Amino acid sequence: MKLLGLDAHSIRNLAPLTLAPAPRFNVFHGDNGQGKTNLLEAIYVVAALRSFRTSRLADLIAFGADAARLAARVERDGLERSYEVKLAPHGRQVRLDGKAVRPLARYFGAFNVVLFAPEDLQLPRGAPGDRRRFLDRAVFNRRADYMPLVQDYEKVLKSRNALLRDAADGRRADIEGLLGVYDDQLAGLAASLVTARLSYVDELRARFQEAFHAIFRIDRAVDLRYDTDDEVRAAAPSERPDVYGRLLGASRRHDLARGATNVGPHRDDLSFDFDGHDAGGFASQGQLRGLVLAWKTAEMDLLAEVHGEAPILLLDDVSSELDASRNQYLFEYLARRRNQCFITTTHPRHVLVSEDRVDHQVSVGRIQ
C-alpha cells in the first residue's frame, strides 16, 4: 500500500500543498510548531475521516478560510484509488474515486494508516479514555465496518444521556418509554463494539508478546487485557445484546440520578500487564514505552498479514521519546518491512535509516 499523492488546502498552518511521497521513508524535520504534525494529521483524516488531535474536523480549517480540502491517491494491490474530503464549519463532503459515498462504510477498508505518536507512549499510565481511543484506532484498521459502528454507538449514547439529563431536570414525562427504545439500540451496538474489541485483543496478544521479547530479550511475562463487565465477557457474542439490556435496566435508577449512562463499552479499559501486575503502576518508564512499541509493531504485522499489504505508518516525533536501544529496534524493524513511512522529527539524525529515504524541511507550514 502506497500513498502516491497528497493535496492539502487551507489545513491549519500548512501552505497549499501538493506532495508526491517517496515509496519508503519520508522524513519531515523542523522545529516544533512548524506544521510537521499537521501534515500527518492531514493524511490520517483523509484515511479515517477522524483526527487524532480533535473531535471536530472543522478545527483543521485554517484561520480565515471558509473551508478546507484534502485529497489523496492511494495504490493497493496494483489498483489506484482517489479519496477526497472537503471540510466546512458545519459539515464535510466525502468522495471516493470522484463519487459521493453511500453508505459511508464503503469509504473505509483500502487506505490503512497506523499512527504512532509521543502521547501513545504514556498510555499505560494515562486515562482510560485515551486507551479506548488507542484501541479503537487499531480495531478500525483491522475492520472497515468498525468506525461506523463506533459512531453509531456514540450517537445513541449521546441521545440517551441527553434524555437522562432532561429527566433529571423534570423536562420529560415520557422517560421510561423513550429509555426503553434507546436501551434496545444501545445494547445491540454495545455488544457488537465489545465483541470487536475483545476479538482484536485476542488476535494481537501473541504478536504483542513476541514483539516485546524481541525488544527487551528478557524473560518477563507480558499480556494484554480488555477490562469489561464479567457477565459480558462470559457471554457468547449472540447473547451479549441481552446481557447489556439487563445491565442497562438494572442501572437505570442510577443513570437517572446521575444524568449519565454508567454501563457500556464507553466505561471499559485496556490494560497492559507486566509480570502479572498492571504495568502502569509496576513497570519502569522504559518498559512502559517498550510495551507500547511492541503493540505498534504487532499491529503493523497483523495488518500486513490480514490485508496482504503493509499499512502506511505515521511516526510523529517518537524517536526523541525513545531511548537509544528502543529507537534502534524500531528502525531495524521498519528497515526489514515494506511499510511506506511518514516520519516527523526535530532533527534528521534521530531517524536511523539511510536507504530509500527522502528528507524534507518544514518551516512555517511550508514543506521544502
For the stretch 237-246, contacts whose Cβ atoms lie closer than 8 Å and that sit 24 or more positions apart, written own/partner, are 237/191, 237/195, 240/190, 240/191, 240/194, 240/195, 241/187, 241/188, 241/190, 241/191, 242/187, 243/191, 244/186, 244/187, 244/188, 244/190, 244/191, 245/183, 245/184, 245/187
Q: What is the pLDDT of residue 173?
A: 62
Mean pLDDT of all residues in 13-38: 95
26-41, pLDDT tens digit by residue? 999 999 999 999 999 9
Which residues make Cβ contacts (< 8 Å) with residue 85, sequence separation at least 6?
A: 45, 46, 49, 69, 70, 71, 92, 93, 94, 95
* Euclidean distance between CA atoms 125 and 248, whole angstroms: 29
pLDDT at 344: 96
Residue 286's pLDDT band (cuts 50, 70, 90): confident
Domains of the chain, first to last: 1-112+311-368 (3.40.50.300), 124-287 (1.20.1050.90)
Are 71 and 84 contacting, i.e. CB atoms less than 8 angstroms apart? yes
Going by pLDDT thresholds of 50, 70 and 90, the confidence category of residue 18 is very high
Is 298:214 a contact under the CB 8 Å cutoff?
Answer: no
Question: Does pLDDT of 42 surpass 80?
Answer: yes
| Residue 207, C-alpha cell as written in the block | 504478536
* For the chain, percent of residues with pLDDT exceeding 70: 99
* pLDDT of 183 higher than 90: yes
Beta-bridge mates of residue 274 = 222, 277
Q: What SS3 state is found at 264?
A: coil
Say if residue 172's pLDDT is above 70.
no
Q: Which residues pair with 70 in a beta bridge?
A: 8, 85
Q: Has residue 169 got a pLDDT over 80?
A: no
Rounded Cα gap, residues 174 and 176, in angstroms? 6
pTM for this predicted structure: 0.90
pLDDT by residue (tens digit) across 239-284? 999 999 999 999 999 999 999 999 999 999 999 999 989 998 888 8
Burial class from Cβ neighbours inside 10 Å (0-12, 13-18, 19+) for residue 340 reads buried
Compute, in degrees rounded to 10, the torsion defined by CA atoms 23, 338, 314, 354: -70
Within a 13 Å sphere around the CA of 50, how many CA atoms are in the beta-carbon half? Answer: 19
CA 213 – CA 128 distance, rounded (Å): 25
- 208 pLDDT tier (thresholds 50, 70, 90): very high
pLDDT score, position 167 = 82
Residues 5 and 309: beta-carbon distance below 8 Å: no
> What is the bridge-based pairing of β-strands 68-76 and 99-100?
unpaired
What mean pLDDT value characterizes the chain? 93
Mean pLDDT of 54-82: 94
- What does the pLDDT read at residue 171? 66
Residue 5 pLDDT: 97
Specify the pLDDT at position 186. 97
Question: Rounded to a whole number, what is the distance in angstroms from the first to the last CA of the chain?
Answer: 25
Torsion, CA 290, CA 137, CA 358, CA 291, rounded to 10:
0
Strand locations in 159-311 (E):
222-227, 269-274, 277-278
Query: Per the structure block, which three cell numbers stand in for 333?
Result: 524493524
Angle between the N-to-C axes of helices 175-216 and 324-336, in degrees from 0 to 180, rounded to the nearest 10: 100
Cβ 29 vs Cβ 346: under 8 Å: yes
293's grid cell: 512499541
Grid cell 468498525 is found at 146
